[in-house]
């Protein structure tokens, strides 16, 4: 005989019919279709920062691709203008990514400083060399050089301030991942995000996987809602991250239909 009270049965039935969301961050897990575009660059950046996927085994602070902003704010000139203001006001930094394409990442300055602190702790544990240079880099270089690159002599001048900068100091900055040499001009460096290498590999693989998935479909398109729920096998980044990226870079486009948004491979 079933002894469960009627009220408990009703509650159980209601839970089955209307399941609780898995996360309390309901706004962060809402569908891409409902929050694809924004009117303000900073709002878009903050939401995409909050939606950055958790990545196992890689200690990386959230970053946003410039292409994702172009998919989220309709006016690209507005995006570029507002990014420049935020950069000059030291709210965020832009980074040229080593993906073989014209990719730029955006990271809030506070997150970038946390990322560097993680590197310092890791290198302290391994007892790797003259780590004071990373503190000089944070307080002297980052604070005064706001662009994505820096010339060797300027770097040495900013770092020195009463101390002699040696080649091993520069080598440590490169080995720690905060700087990379420009291939065209070895006297120039790109500012870089430490620990991002494996994520960039996944970014490239995820792009190929998503485009391949759509290209195999009859009309090279799919409804956004079910597409967003698919999992990618070769990228630690989620489908939402890749969709925003490929829409913003022009590889994919969205089309409004009576049944919802369709994502389609761009033919031009």
Q: Which of 4-18, 222-236, 244-258 has the lowest mean pLDDT?
A: 4-18
| CATH number of the domain where residue 259 is located | 1.10.10
Domain C-terminal end among 154, 174, 194:
194
pLDDT at 35: 67
DSSP summary character for residue 22? S
For residues 53 and 107, membership in a common domain is answered with yes
Q: Which of 194, 226, 242 is the C-terminal boundary of a domain?
A: 194
- Is there a domain that residue 140 lies in? yes
**Residues 147, 117 share a domain:** yes
Q: What is the mean pLDDT of residues 225-248?
A: 94
Give 180's DSSP letter: E
Domain boundary among 167, 194, 221: 194
Looking at the fold, whether 182 and 205 belong to one and the same domain comes out as no
| Band of pLDDT at residue 165, cut at 50, 70 and 90 | confident
pTM for the full model?
0.83
pLDDT > 70: percent of the chain: 86
Across the range 167-186, mean pLDDT stands at: 91
pLDDT computed for residue 14 by the predictor: 39
- Same domain for 183 and 203? no
**Structural domain containing residue 123:** 38-194
> Considering its fold, how many domains does the chain have in total?
2
Phi and psi based region of residue 213 (left: phi greater than 0; alpha: psi -120 to 50; beta: remaining) = alpha
Tell me the mean pLDDT in the region 110-116: 95
In angstroms, the CA 254 to CA 224 distance is: 8
Q: Does residue 267 surpass a pLDDT of 50?
A: yes
Dump pLDDT digits (tens) for 10-63.
444 433 333 333 333 334 455 676 667 777 899 999 999 999 998 887 889 999
Are 9 and 237 in contact, with CB atoms under 8 Å apart?
Answer: no
Q: What are all long-range contacts of 215-221, with beta carbons under 8 Å and residues at least 24 apart?
A: 215/265, 219/264, 220/264, 220/265, 220/267, 221/255, 221/262, 221/263, 221/264, 221/265
Q: What is the mean pLDDT of residues 172-192?
A: 92
Question: What pLDDT, on a 0 to 100 scale, did the predictor assign at position 132?
Answer: 86
The predicted pLDDT at position 26 comes to 32
Using alpha carbons, select from 102, 97, 99, 92 the residue that is nearest to residue 45. Answer: 92
């Amino acid at each position: 005989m079933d002894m469960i009270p009627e009220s408990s049965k009703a509650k159980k039935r209601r839970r089955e019919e209307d399941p609780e969301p898995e996360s309390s961050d309901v706004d962060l897990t809402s569908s891409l279709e409902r929050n694809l575009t924004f009117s303000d660059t900073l709002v878009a950046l903050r939401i995409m920062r909050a939606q950055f996927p958790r990545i196992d085994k890689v200690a990386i602070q959230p970053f946003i691709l410039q292409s994702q902003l172009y998919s989220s704010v309709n006016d690209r000139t507005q995006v570029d203008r507002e990014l420049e203001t935020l950069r000059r006001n030291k709210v965020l930094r832009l980074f040229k990514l080593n993906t073989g394409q014209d990719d730029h990442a955006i990271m809030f300055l506070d997150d970038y400083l946390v990322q560097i602190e993680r590197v310092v702790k890791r290198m302290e544990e391994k007892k790797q060399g003259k780590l004071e240079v990373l503190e000089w880099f944070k307080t002297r270089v980052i604070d005064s050089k706001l662009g994505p690159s820096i010339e060797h002599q300027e770097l040495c001048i900013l770092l020195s301030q009463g101390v002699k900068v040696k080649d091993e100091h520069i080598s440590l900055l490169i080995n720690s991942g905060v700087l990379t040499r420009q291939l065209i001009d070895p006297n120039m460096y790109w500012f870089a995000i430490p620990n991002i290498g494996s994520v960039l590999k996944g970014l490239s693989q995820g792009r190929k996987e998503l485009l391949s998935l759509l290209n195999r479909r009859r009309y090279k398109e799919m409804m956004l809602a079910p597409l967003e729920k698919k999992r990618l096998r070769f990228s630690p980044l989620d489908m939402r991250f890749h969709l925003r990226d490929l829409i913003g870079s022009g590889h994919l486009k969205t089309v409004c239909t009576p049944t919802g948004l369709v994502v389609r491979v761009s033919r031009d």
